[in-house]
Structure 1
Amino acid sequence: MTYTVNCSILLTELPLLERPAAAKTAGFDAVEFWWPFETSVPTDVEVARFENAIADAGVQLTGLNFNAGDMPGGDRGLLSWPAHSTEFQDNIDVVAGIGERLGCKAFNALYGNRIDGESAERQDALGAENLAKAAAGVARIGGTVLLESVSGAPNYPLLKARDALDVIARVRTESGAENIRFLADFYHLAVNGEDIAAVIEKHAQDFGHIQIADSPGRGAPGTGQLPLGEWIARSRALGYEGYIGLEYKEPAETAFSWAIRA
């Protein structure tokens, strides 16, 4: 099984730039991150430190989020927010640059919460436009934009797989972009009441990425009740060939005990 450690939610006892090396020490060769900077356009020094931490650790960066705003404060993406559209667009070249230098090909774009005073129609039109721009921006390095359904954010409009897949279909129709795919986060989908087995049967071959956490609790596999192993195995059987992102909450000392046992 090819796992990639999400170093934005795991190993958080350590400073962010020490986490890739810790993942390597734990036996993993791949990592992924949410946006690791405070701004959409960080300084060259900040970018170099991040890139060096990954290169020096000897791990592959397999996934990187576009800037999603103030995540601890409740933000879940900038691309459908009229007031932050330019900020998102400025982020595209930075993301693509990091991807090019580190060989990363997958880039997660959180859609953005609904905003008071803005119509859903306007936000969705802007979201489709900015997703198309993101897809064009990473296409030059052979990259793919990922779009996911999210739980725990009441104003986030993409809750079920169909919600995200409909946005992807709209972007493809309106722009011709083919390098945008569904990120199947089994935890978020389960919390939102999705029939994950049915989604896998219909769409596994089209998944751009899979992320896992158990439920309830968003802990490590085996701490909850989700049949994660079965879902992963079925996705593989139906054509999914990518990484499995470990995006759960667990103290560092026990974060990977399940994998060692497995």
Structure 2
Amino acid sequence: MTHRGKILRDTNAGPGLLSSGGNQHPFTLESHWKSDQPPRVGMVVDVSLDAAGGLAAVMPVADAQLAKEQADLALQAAKAKGGALAAGLTARFGMPTLVALGVLVVGWFFLNTIAVQVSSQYSVGMSLWKLLGVLNSPSGLMSGLGGGGGGSGIYGFLCIVALLGPLLPQVWNDKRAHLGGLLPLAFMLLIVLMFYLGINDGVKQAQGAASIFGGAQAAQMAESVSSMMLREAMRAISFGAGAWLSLLASLYLAGRGLMKFLAAKA
């Protein structure tokens, strides 16, 4: 039978002493020690006992084995703590809400919201988070297409607020807190509106500049060219998986929050 133990006294001045299973056992190099390296105080060892419970053999445990065992224990502790945390979050917020929020995080930050067909063989995808950087700084459109992008500014702050909106009933004991579930959908609609207004404003500015320098005929020509360019640009843009998943998740959260609000109101 083998037990794990620790050396309390080495054999430099007589028999050594080890502790295993709450008991202390004296040992000697000649009778018990089974290793080329000498025993030292604090060394972790494997202790073999005979049928009568006496000490039969002592062998040091390799440092690599100890490191592996400690890593396994840490992993088990982390799994247990993570399981307890997940169970607590599920009990507090509900699994459907957590799943929907997880889908929103993936859809907004990791998956492509739109894909731009730059050429017949090359397309570029952008997540909602990157689009917020473009919206915050339209001059950074090219860097956004290249995979970079500037800061999201106020839109990034609104994005985080919208993401936390469905959790509002947990910190505000009021029936209106359930309307926080509408924030992700409202935020997505706001972003669509802001892009539309930005494009419309750009077209109007082009028409205004043409009217100043070329009169009404130039303005009409600019309008025609702008409309044609806008149609071509829209053909090159398609919605990605992030857009559809985010829309479904935000619709679910909005419907859930609205139903809870109406139920609390009644």
TM-score (norm. length: structure 2): 0.22
Question: Which structure has greater helix proportion?
Answer: 2
Is the radius of gyration larger for structure 1 or structure 2? 2
